[in-house]
Each structure stands twice: as structure tokens, then as C-alpha cells.
Amino acid sequence: MQQIDHNRNIIEIDNVSFSYGNTIVLEDINLNIHLGDFLAIVGPNGGGKTTLLKIVLGLLKPTKGTVRLFGTDIKQFKDWTKVGYVPQKVTNFDLNFPATVREVVAMGRFAKRGLFRFLNQIDDRIISRSLEHVDMLEYQNRLIGSLSGGQQQRVFIARALAQEPSVILLDEPTVGIDVKAQEDFYALMKTLNEKLELSLAMVSHDLDVVAHEATEVACINRILACHVDPKEFFRGGFLEKVYGQNAKYLTHHH
Amino acid sequence: MLDILNYSFIVRGLEAGLMIALVAPLIGIFLVLRRYSLIADTLAHVSLAGIALGLIFNLNPIFSAMTLTVVSSVAIERLRLTRKIYGESALALFLSGSLALALILIGLAHGFNVNLFNYLFGSIVTVRPSDVTNILIFGLVVALLIFLFFKELIFISFDEEAARVSGIPSRMVNIILIVLAALTISLAIPIVGVLLVSALIVIPVVAALQLRTSFIRTLIFAEVFSVLSVVSGVVISYYLDLSSGGTIVIVTLLFFGLAWLFAKLTHR
């Protein structure tokens, strides 16, 4: 098996700042996501981590600084199918939308196929394979709104996989799913990261991700407060630094 | 029964109506799912101003309506994107503004003639032979463009942000949808009328949504409801001497009621 070069940067965030009006949300963030990483971006709510994710996705423009994706400045970047995105499900979708699981996952192929082209058998196979990876193939004809939160989560991951990305960015993926589903979710992340060799970056206010499968941790609270190995994270007193005195509540079940 | 087909105006009404019935749900499904149903009503009122302009300046009212509606639809979308104005406030501006313009134009043309009244409430008598050709040609163009952008429209309706991130040109697709909605509404007005056109675009889709099935099947059901409503509406209105627009919309509501009842009884 070919060894992954973990020193290769796939996403480079250089001196990025962002403000809404006079409020500084992010200040001078420097952060690289390496090939093969499973990066957990943690920090308190309102600390700017989702804003950072949206900047990397091109949904927001930084007030200052540059972002490079796969070596290309984000302003010139065209190869968006390489970047998979799993949105925070609670905010982004209508439970009554008339779409089956398979129809939702097929959306992951749309941009890949391009304008004026229709999905073909190759796309069909990739859609089925993506559903198998998340163990949802048997639910393919169910309506998306009829599934549990954890199952919907898997479908959105399958949609990102169908795009055949190199990196998947996830926004608060564990919000609104039960404990069992969360464990399955982390097991799936480990498989994607290790077996499919996908780079992952996940924004979470929940420190569970650090204790689980992440290979690196970045803490964002307006500034980049740390970028360390997960083991170091709990040892180094970063918790109090990022979250303040209430940090203990966040890890109560460990 | 088929004796009604001996009247050329009925045949014209049915031909044009069938085309409109097929195109309306293609637009309607995306407007409804994006919570943008009200734009149909707004664009219909803009069409009225366009028709009034056409009648005053002796232009083909379908074309003057199309032009004004397409221009306004782009303006509404741009206004919505600036976010300085709420989406529905932009709609209100255009709805009342164009109605006001239409009223002034009608006044200038010395009153409400029968012609314009037909456009308000719709009548198959309004459909002229040249209208049928225009409706068929433009209807086909709208259907073809929806077909070409179908997958992008589905993704954007489901999750615009994720669609944008994956590289789908969401702004362009949004503009295309709204321009096609404008064209469809202008085409449908001679038959269903300004006041009822949005019902034909919205109600068959809302009825199909009650059945809670896949996207493709929802669209197929909406097409079936729409075609049955228009055909039976035209035929019933002829035999009972009723308004064709009114009859068509009442039949769509009947389908909605049946779909809703079916969903309730089968616990969908």
C-alpha cells in the first residue's frame, strides 16, 4: 500500500481574519490541513469555527488573508468536487422534501457530471457504492424525511462520498443524533479516514471528537488557540484556555 | 361527446391548455419547494400590466406580457439577492406596483374593454390561432430548459448551500428558473387568467406532495393532476357555460382534497 504523505498540505489557511461589521470573529488564523489528517476543529459556540469552515468552503470571503485548496488560491479554485461537504443537518434541510435516500445521494454526482449531462450507469454504481460505505443501501428507496437523525447524517455523508472527494468537511455532525448513532458515526469516520484514505476536517463544539478518532486538534476561539495532537490536548491545559472554567462539563462522560 | 371538437376555439383552447398543463408543474415543483409560490402571483400581475401595454400600443399582448414579466423577474431576483429587502417585500412591491400601472394604463385607454376582462379571468375564447403556435413553441422551450437544468434545480431546491459548495452555478440556475416561471405565467394567462394562474402552477404540485413519494413520482403525479384539471376544466366549462379559468382551478382543488384524504386514510 502506498504510504500517505502526511506533510503535504491540502488546505492552507494563511493569516485569515474575518469580521462582521466591527465584530472580529476570526483573527490571524494560520492552519494547514494535511493529506490524510482527521482534523477536529473545536471551540466554544460563537468562537468562529463555523465561520472558518464557511471561508474554506468559499461561502464567505475572508476580510484578510488567503486560503489555498490543493495549492490553488481559493479565488481561482475550480475543482470543487474534490471538496466534500456535510452540512449541519438541523439547519439545512426540509424534512418534507420529496426525495428518496438514493435521490439525495445522486446529488453528489451532479456537479461531477457537469451541466447538460445526465447521470449514467457509472454514476449509478458510485451512488450504490457510497450508500454501501455508510451502510444505508437497504434504505435507498425510503424518503429522507422518514429516517432518524443518525441515518440522515449517513445519507449526507454518502452524498459527499458520491462526489469522490479528497477531503470531506463536516459542520457539527453530531448535533441532534443520539449516543449510539454518534458512536457509529465516529467508527464510520475512522473507516473513511483509514480505509478510504480520505482527509477529514470536522467542526464540533463537542470534545468527544478529540477523545475519539481525530489525529489532530485545532482550537478556535477568535484566534487559533492550539493546533496539537489529541493526547497533548487533554494534557496541555488547553481546555481551560479555550473554554474557560466550565470546561469540565464538556467532557463529563469520559 | 366529441362534438365539442368541431368547434375550432375549443380545440385551440385544449391544445394550448394541454401545453400549459404540462409545463406548469415543471416550474411549480421548484417554486413550491423553495417556498417561492407567491412569485407566481406577483409575475401574473406584472403580466397584466404587460398585456395592458400591448393592447394600448397594438402589440401582441402575449409578447408584451412576456417581455415585461421576464425583465421584472430578473429585477425581483436581484433585489432579493441584495438582502436589503426581504424576498416577500420585493414581491409585494412588484405585485401592487404592476397592478397600479395596469389600472392607470386601462384608464388611459378609456375604460375596461371586454378584451382585458378576458385576460383577468381567463377564457378559451381569448386564445387566438397565433397564440396556440406561440404557446406551443415557448412551452417547448421552457420544458427543454427545465430538462437541461433539471439536476441542478433539484440540488439547489434541496440544499442551496451544499449545491453551491459542490460547484453548481446557483446564481445562474436561480435566474433561469425565475425567467422560465415568468415565461410560463405569461403564456398561461389567456387560458387561466391573471388572478388564477398561480393556482395552476402551485396546486397540482401541492396535491402531489401530499402523496409523500420520491421527487420523480411527485412530479409525475403533479403532471397528471394538472393535465386532468385543464382538460376536464375546459370541457366542463364548455358544457356548463362556466368560466374556464375558474373551473380548472376548482378541479385542481378537488385533486388536492382527494390527495389529502388519501394521505390521511393511508397514514402517509
CATH code of the domain covering residue B85: 1.10.3470.10
Split into its structural domains, chain B has a count of 1
| pLDDT at site A36 | 93
Q: Is the pTM of this model over 0.90?
A: yes
| ipTM of the complex in this document | 0.91
Would you say residue A3 lies in a domain? no
Would you say residue A95 lies in a domain? yes
On whether any CB of chain B is under 8 Å from the CB of A116, the answer is yes
Q: Give the C-alpha separation, B120 to A133, whole Å.
A: 56
Phi, psi of A138, rounded to the nearest 5 degrees: -70, -15
Would you say residue A205 lies in a domain? yes
On whether any CB of chain A is under 8 Å from the CB of B154, the answer is yes
Q: Give the C-alpha separation, A30 to B13, whole Å.
A: 66
Residue A239 to residues B188, B246, B254: CA-CA distances in angstroms?
63, 67, 62
Q: Give the C-alpha separation, B66 to B50, whole Å.
A: 7
- Scan residues 163-222 of A and list those with Cβ closer than 8 Å to B: 163
Domain with B186, as residue range(s), is: 2-265
Chain A residues whose CB is inside 8 A of the B154 CB are: 99, 103, 107, 110
List, for chain B, all residue ranges whose pLDDT scores fall below the cut of 50: none
On whether any CB of chain B is under 8 Å from the CB of A143, the answer is yes
Contact (CB<8Å) B163/A107: yes
Would you say residue A197 lies in a domain? yes
Cβ atoms of A207 and A219 closer than 8 Å: no
Would you say residue A193 lies in a domain? yes
Interface test with B, best of A69, A110, A127 (most B CBs within 10 A): A110
Domain harbouring A215, CATH code: 3.40.50.300
Contact (CB<8Å) A108/B166: yes
Split into its structural domains, chain A has a count of 1
User: CB within 8 A of B41, min separation 6: which ones?
Assistant: B91, B95, B198
Phi-psi region of B184 (alpha: psi -120 to 50; beta: other; left: phi over 0): alpha
Nearest CA in chain B to A171: B162
Contact (CB<8Å) B158/A93: yes
Would you say residue A2 lies in a domain? no
Closest to B232 (Cα-Cα) out of B211, B210, B254: B254
Would you say residue A50 lies in a domain? yes
Closest to A213 (Cα-Cα) out of A189, A235, A181: A189
Contacts across the A-B interface (CB distance below 8 Å): 85
Would you say residue A1 lies in a domain? no
Interface test with B, best of A11, A59, A85 (most B CBs within 10 A): A85
- Which residues make beta-bridge pairs with A13? A31, A67
List, for chain A, all residue ranges whose pLDDT scores fall below the cut of 50: 1-2, 249, 252-254
Q: Give the C-alpha separation, B170 to B161, whole Å.
A: 9
pLDDT tens string B84-119: 888 788 899 999 999 999 989 888 877 656 577 788
pLDDT tens string A96-116: 899 999 999 999 999 999 999
Domain with A223, as residue range(s), is: 9-250
